C-alpha cells in the first residue's frame, strides 16, 4: 500500500486502509473502489489523501506504532472534552490522566522504533488529531530523554492540552482559509495565556501542564511568545512540546496551506536547532522520525525511482527501496528491492509523486 493525494488518485484505485469519521464510523471500507463521486465526497469531507493498493505497492504494509483503535478512541475522548461547554473555564485532569496512561503503555509496548502516525484524517478534525499526535511525539521524546513515569504523565497531560486555550478563540479566525491580519494573529497568540488560565481553574492538573500551555510557543533565542523567554528559562517540557507541535503542524494539511513533506520539515527544523529549538531535545525527537515513511515515492542519486519498502530501524533514513524506474527513466518489468543501508554510495535525493 501507499499514501496518495486525492489529487493524484485514479478512478478505480482501491482503498487499502479504512477511513473513519470523527465519531469513529467507517466512511470508506478497505477494498472500496474509488469513483469520481467518492473522490469528490472525500474532498468535501476534508480528506486530502488516502492509502491505496496497486501493483507497484503490493506487499508494502505501513507499520503501526500505536494501534489505530487506540488513536481513534483517544481522538474521540479529546473531542468529548473539547465539545463540553465547561472547557472554556476548566477541565477534568483525572480523565486526561487516564488517556495519557493508556498512551504511555501503548508506546512502551510498541516494537516499532519509528513513530508513524499514519491516520488518514479530515482537515476539520485537525485540533483533536493534532492534540493526540503532539502527545505521542512528546511522550516518545520524553522516554528517549529518560523521563520518569510521573514526569511522563505530566508531560502527556500538558501535550494533549497544549492548545486548549484555542477554545476561547473565534472559529472564524481559527478556520480562516487565508492569511490572518495582524489583529487576528494577535488574538490567536492569546491562546497560550487562555490555556494557562483554563488549566489553572481545573482540578488535578499539574503545574507542568499549565506551563506547557503557556510556554509552548516560546523559542530558545527569545523570538517566541508570550514572554520572549530564552533558553533554560523555558521549562524542558514546554521545549519538548514546542518541537512536537511544530513538526505535526507542518506535516499536516491545513485549511490555508498544504503540508510540507517530512524530509523538508526535518531539514527546516534542524536548521533552527539551537535557535528556535533545544538541540538535545531535537536530536532525541528525530531519533524516532524518518524523513521517508513507508510507501513514499523517492528519487535516488543514481536517477532511479521507487517506493520506500520498509525501514531499517538502526538507520531509518537509509531504508529498503523498491526500485520501479531505472536510471534511464525506463519502467522496470520486474521491480527489485535495494537496501540503502548496504549501499553507502546510494542515497535518497528527493521525493517523487508517483
Provide the annotated active-site residues. 166
Helix (H) / strand (E) containing 134: helix 126-144
**d(C-alpha 152, C-alpha 286), whole Å:** 18
Collect all residues with Cβ–Cβ distance below 8 Å to 348 and sequence separation of at least 6: 263, 291, 292, 298, 299, 300, 301, 317, 321, 340
Looking up cell 507499520 gives 63
Backbone angles phi, psi at 5, to 5 degrees: -65, 145
**d(C-alpha 196, C-alpha 109), whole Å:** 32
Collect all residues with Cβ–Cβ distance below 8 Å to 101 and sequence separation of at least 6: 153
> Both ends of the chain: CA-CA distance in Å?
13
**d(C-alpha 98, C-alpha 105), whole Å:** 11
Work out the angle between the directed axes of helices 236-250 and 207-215 (0-180°, nearest 10): 50
Q: b/e per residue, 303-318, with b = 16+ CB within 10 A?
A: ebbbbbbbbbeeebbb
Amino acid at each position: 500500500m501507499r499514501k496518495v493525494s486525492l489529487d493524484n488518485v485514479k478512478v478505480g484505485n482501491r482503498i487499502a486502509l479504512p477511513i473513519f469519521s470523527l465519531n469513529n464510523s467507517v466512511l470508506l471500507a478497505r477494498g472500496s473502489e474509488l469513483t469520481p463521486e467518492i473522490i469528490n465526497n472525500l474532498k468535501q469531507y476534508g480528506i486530502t489523501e488516502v492509502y491505496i493498493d496497486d501493483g507497484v505497492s503490493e506487499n508494502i504494509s505501513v507499520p503501526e506504532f500505536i494501534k489505530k483503535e487506540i488513536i481513534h478512541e483517544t481522538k474521540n475522548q479529546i473531542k468529548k472534552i473539547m465539545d463540553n461547554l465547561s472547557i472554556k473555564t476548566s477541565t477534568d485532569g483525572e480523565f486526561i490522566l487516564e488517556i495519557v496512561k493508556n498512551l504511555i503503555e501503548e508506546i512502551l509496548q510498541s516494537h516499532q522504533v519509528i513513530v508513524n502516525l499514519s491516520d488518514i484524517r479530515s482537515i476539520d478534525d485537525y485540533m483533536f488529531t493534532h492534540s493526540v499526535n503532539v502527545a505521542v511525539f512528546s511522550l516518545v521524546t520524553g522516554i528517549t530523554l529518560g523521563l520518569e513515569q510521573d514526569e511522563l504523565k505530566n508531560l502527556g497531560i500538558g501535550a494533549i492540552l497544549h492548545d486548549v486555550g484555542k477554545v476561547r478563540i473565534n472559529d472564524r479566525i481559527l478556520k480562516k482559509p487565508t492569511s490572518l491580519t495582524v489583529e487576528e494573529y494577535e488574538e490567536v497568540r492569546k491562546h497560550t495565556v487562555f490555556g494557562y488560565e483554563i488549566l489553572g481553574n481545573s482540578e488535578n492538573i499539574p503545574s507542568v501542564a499549565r506551563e506547557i500551555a503557556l510556554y509552548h510557543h516560546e523559542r530558545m533565542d527569545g523570538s517566541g511568545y508570550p514572554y520572549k523567554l530564552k533558553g533554560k528559562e523555558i521549562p524542558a517540557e514546554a521545549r519538548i512540546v514546542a518541537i512536537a507541535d511544530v513538526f505535526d503542524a507542518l506535516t499536516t494539511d491545513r485549511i490555508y496551506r498544504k503540508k510540507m513533506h517530512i524530509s523538508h520539515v526535518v531539514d527546516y527544523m534542524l536548521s533552527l536547532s539551537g535557535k528556535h529549538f533545544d538541540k538535545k531535545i531535537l536530536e532525541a525527537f528525530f531519533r524516532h522520525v524518518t524523513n521517508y515513511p513507508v510507501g513514499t515515492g523517492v528519487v535516488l542519486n543514481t536517477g532511479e525511482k521507487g517506493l520506500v519498502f520498509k525501514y531499517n530501524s538502526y538507520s531509518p533514513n537509509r531504508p529498503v527501496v523498491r526500485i520501479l524506474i531505472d536510471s534511464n527513466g525506463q519502467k522496470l518489468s520486474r521491480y527489485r528491492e535495494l537496501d540503502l543501508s548496504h549501499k553507502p554510495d546510494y542515497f535518497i535525493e528527493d521525493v517523487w509523486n508517483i
